[in-house]
Each structure stands twice: as C-alpha cells, then as structure tokens.
C-alpha cells in the first residue's frame, strides 16, 4: 500500500510541474511572439506617420532607416494609373506591412536576447 501512495504522490508532483511549465511556456509564447507582433504593428504605423509628415525635411537615409516601408512602397507601386483610392490603399498596405515586419523582427530579437539573459541568470 505504501509504494502505491508514493507513486501517486510522484505522479501528482509531475502533473503540477507540467502545469507550471505549460503556464510558463504560454507566458513565454506571448512575450516572444504575440507582444512583439502587436508592438511592431503599432510602432510601424507610427513610424510611417512620422516619415510621411517629415519626409521633405529629413535626409532620405534617416527616413529609410525609420520607415523602410515608405521607400519600398514607393518602389513597388505600379506605374499603371488606377483610381486614387486604389493607389493610396495599396501604398498604405505595403508600407504598413513592411514597417510592421521590420519592427516585429527587431522586437523579436530583443525578446530573444532578454529571455536568453534571463535563462543564463537563473
């Protein structure tokens, strides 16, 4: 009877540890992928807004560094003359998407470095 009780205790501890690890993994998933994606979209949109308003006052290299989506959208837009709404809509889609991917990659790299440093310390 006693070995059976000890085996059940070991199984319950393992189950609790697995639950704690799964909660930790969910937290890590959020801060490693979801939060940088949301933050990248927000910062990319704001960088595009800043770049559009100050494009004539700032050097091209600074504008391209802060908002690479603006220059890529200018290069990718077709020369076919469509309606203004179509052209502007696709311009914004391309620019916001490229900026979001750019800033997402930066934030994912930062999250990886912070997580790696935290893992080394503990």
pLDDT at residue number 81 = 74
Decide if 1 is inside a domain. no
pLDDT at site 122:
62
24 belongs to a structural domain: no
The pTM of this model reads 0.72
pLDDT digits (tens, 9 = 90+) for 75-114: 988 766 778 888 888 899 999 999 999 999 999 999 888 8
**Quick one: pLDDT at residue 116?**
79
Q: What is the 3-state secondary structure (H, E, C) of the chain?
A: CHHHHHHHHHHHHHHHHHHHHHHHHHHHHHHHHHHHHHHHHHHHHHHHHHHHHCCCCCCHHHHHHHCHHHHHHHHHCCCCCCCHHHHHHHHHHHHHHHHHHHHHHHHHHHHHHHHHHHHHHC
pLDDT classification of 67: cutoffs 50, 70, 90:
very high
> Which residues constitute the domain of residue 71?
30-121
Q: Is residue 10 part of a domain?
A: no
In a domain, 19, yes or no: no
Instruction: Look at the chain and report how many structural domains it folds into.
Output: 1
User: Taking all residues of the chain, what is their mean pLDDT, rounded to a whole number?
Assistant: 81
């Amino acid at each position: 009877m006693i070995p059976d009780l000890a085996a059940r205790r070991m199984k319950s501890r393992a189950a609790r540890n697995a639950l704690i690890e799964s909660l930790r993994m969910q937290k890590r998933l959020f801060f490693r992928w979801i939060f940088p994606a949301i933050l990248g979209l927000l910062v990319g949109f704001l960088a595009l807004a800043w770049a559009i308003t100050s494009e004539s006052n700032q050097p091209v290299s600074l504008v391209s560094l802060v908002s690479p989506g603006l220059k890529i959208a200018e290069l990718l837009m077709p020369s076919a003359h469509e309606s203004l709404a179509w052209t502007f809509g696709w311009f914004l889609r391309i620019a916001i998407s490229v900026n979001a991917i750019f800033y997402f990659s930066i934030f994912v790299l930062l999250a990886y470095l912070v997580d790696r440093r935290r893992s080394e310390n503990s």
